[in-house]
A = this chain, B = another copy of it.
Amino acid sequence: MERANGRKENQLRDITISVDVLKNPHGSALIRWGDNIVLCTAFVEESVPPFQKGSGSGWITAEYSMLPASNNTRRMRDISKLRLDGRSSEIQRLIGRSLRSIADLELLGERSIWVDCDVLQADGGTRCASITGGVVAVYSAMQKLLEKKVIEENPIRSFAAAVSVGVGEDSSLLVDLDYLEDSAALVDMNLVMDEDFGTIEIQGTGEKRPITPVEMAAMVELAKNAIANLIEIQKRSLGIGL
């Protein structure tokens, strides 16, 4: 089965990350990933949630939201329904866990990082774009704190990125599914990995049938190359020598 734009099964869509696009947050990254556009920002606050007070350690909280015009029909705002969308709630928890797992919260000190991922345009894979861009925004914010000597070491221990892998309608293994591919996939998995290809988060769903053990191993393997590419893009966007 042909993928859009003649993309190969193991090929990522075109991805660009623009860093520090806004003047107010300590760090920001605008990630364009295929037709996804996500604005990721990182604000540092000199306080922590109650459960971290006096611990000497910090915290990272993520919020994820889709703008009303990000989809092909207009999405009502959460505030109009007075409830946070369940999917957004699930995704922002995933982003927060992913970012905390690559950060040394003691090096951060008793500070909070608020990471906001706002989807301007969506085409399948916004959670992966949010995590990948969010890492860049947080890293950049930490560099600012380092420069101002607020902290002594960048608390980000390892870069990390996220990618989807799945089994398409025709049983082909696909990396980085767009919206149409995702809707048709038999099986669907999101993987967050660090620089050593250690899995930070794995979330897989047997959409149309269960995942076999063989597929699971193959998908994890397939993701690695994509993760390597993504981390290269992250580092290049930050001007970090590879």
Contact = CB atoms under 8 A, between A and B. Distances in A.
B204 A202 contact: yes
Interface stretch (A87-95, A124-132, A162-170): A87-95
Copies in the complex: 6
Interface in A96-153: 97, 101, 114, 116, 118, 120-121
B206 A199 contact: yes
Nearest 5 CB-CB pairings of A with B = A198-B210, A41-B69, A43-B74, A78-B79, A25-B69
B206 A200 contact: yes
A24 B116 contact: no
A17 B73 CA distance: 24
B206 A203 contact: no
A174 to B, nearest CB: 18
Contact of A114 (B65, B74, B83, B203): B74
Contacts of A207: 101
A74 B25 contact: yes
Given A41-B68, A79-B84, A200 B194 contact: no
Interface in A36-88: 37, 39, 41, 43, 45, 63, 65, 67-74, 77-80, 82-84, 86-87
B210 A194 contact: yes
Given A22-B70, A39-B67, A89-B90, 8 more contacts: A23-B35, A43-B69, A68-B118, A69-B116, A74-B116, A199-B204, A202-B216, A216-B220
Contacts of A82: 79, 82-83
Contacts of A69: 22, 24-25, 28, 39, 41, 43, 116
Nearest to A25: B69
Nearest to A210: B198
A1 interface: no
Interface residues of A, number: 65
Given A93-B86, A114-B68, A22 B206 contact: no
Interface string A196-225: 111111111111011111001100110000
A193 interface: yes
Given A83-B82, A83-B83, A114-B68, A206 B25 contact: no
A242 B217 CA distance: 31
